[in-house]
Amino acid sequence: MFKTRQLLRALFNHRLTLERNGGLCKLFCMMSEAAIDEQQTAKPLKRAHEENEDSAEKLQATKKLKAEDEKKYPKKKVVLLLAYSGKGYYGMQRNPTATQFRTIEDELVTSLVKSGCIPENHGDDMKKMSFQRCARTDKGVSAAGQAVSLKVRLMEDIIEKINEHLPPQIRVLGLKRVTQGFNSKNNCDARTYCYMLPTLAFSPKDNDIGSIAAFRLEPETLERVNRLFASYKGTHNFHNFTSQKAASDPSARRYIIEMSCGEPFINNNTQFAVITVKGQSFMLHQIRKMIGLVIAVIKGYAKEDVIERSWGQDKVDVPKAPGLGLVLEKVHFDRYNKRFGEDGLHERLEWDQEEEAVKAFKEAHIYPSIVETERDEGSMVSWMSTLHIHDFEASAKATDTKNKDQKQDNAEEGNASD
């Protein structure tokens, strides 16, 4: 019996010893697991810290690269000579609120960003690059000598790099450095526009249904056309040649330097002529209405005195010729050239060396577009068929004419032309 108790006590003590040892093992295991977890937690923390250091280094490297880029290619004020065919575009000026209407400036700014000439954020806010166009052009209107001023990074082969990202119907043909305060619109003294049209526009009204290819302009008619265009020379009140402009508005007075129609020529079996007009500045649709009124007189829908009456206080119904043939030919900076062009530091804003490139662009993109569109769509012939609805004898009420002009402007969805 005594031996049995000793045996049981020995077994009990052995069990306690095992339990104690097991507890210690569990404690050691828990401590080991905690240490492992701590090590594993510390590793990601260390990795995140390293990633932050890497990001900071990359940001610093980017800033350094940008600073080096700015130092290598400093931003300077320049003027770009721009040529474009306006077909398919909603004018020159960019409209951030109507991005569905693609403009010439949309294409140009996109190219400037892609070529690295301007920072990307300058493309969203054009004021940051001091961008200014010399003249706005309407929907469908082309240009052979548009000028825009802006600040760009002067990198090597900059013209080629800009053109690389432009469509073929838009091209930068020249670049010149200008003063920091230069503004292409405010520094422009005058603008020259051309208007290419089929000479059928000057045929008598009973010939409107005739073949456009068969018509030929008589020298006597051309002489009369130029006499009427010459009457526009000087300063006149052109409030009837735009929309929503009162006769009392001083800004309606514009100075025309010259206006004439050149000798006719044959293109694609059709006789065309080019009208040239030079003035200090032009209002919305002014040139097209000046041409439209002369055509109405030549065709016999209006008397010659309607031109002089249109400069008076009364509202006169003035037809607006199609925009297809209108081209911004050249812009003039005579005062700037006189002040800075001879100082030995700046170039004269004249593009004699680019004349051949301008001529080649017109012959490749502008003139063919006008001829083909006129042939396919007949915009001039269609417009002439509406001349009979105009009342050239009576002076229209100001409100009626204003509403009519506004409807026409809204239908065209174009931009103003200087």
Q: Provide the H-helix boundaries in 184-300.
A: 219-230, 286-299
138 as an active site residue: the answer is yes
**Cα–Cα dist 100/109, whole Å:** 16
Report helix, strand or coil for 152: strand
Residue in the structure block whose two tokens are 């004020």 = 77
The two structure tokens encoding residue 254: 């514009």
Pick the catalytic residue from 138, 405, 409, 418.
Answer: 138
Looking at this protein, which amino acid is placed at residue 114? Answer: K
CB 147 within 8 A of CB 134: yes
Report helix, strand or coil for 403: helix
CB 356 within 8 A of CB 282: no
For the chain, counts of helices (H) and of strands (E): 12, 12
The string of DSSP codes covering 297-347 is HHHTSS-THHHHHTTSSSEE------STTEEEEEEE-HHHHHHHTTSSSS-
Of the candidates 198, 89, 99, the residue with the CA atom closest to the CA atom of residue 141: 89
Residues noted as catalytic: 138
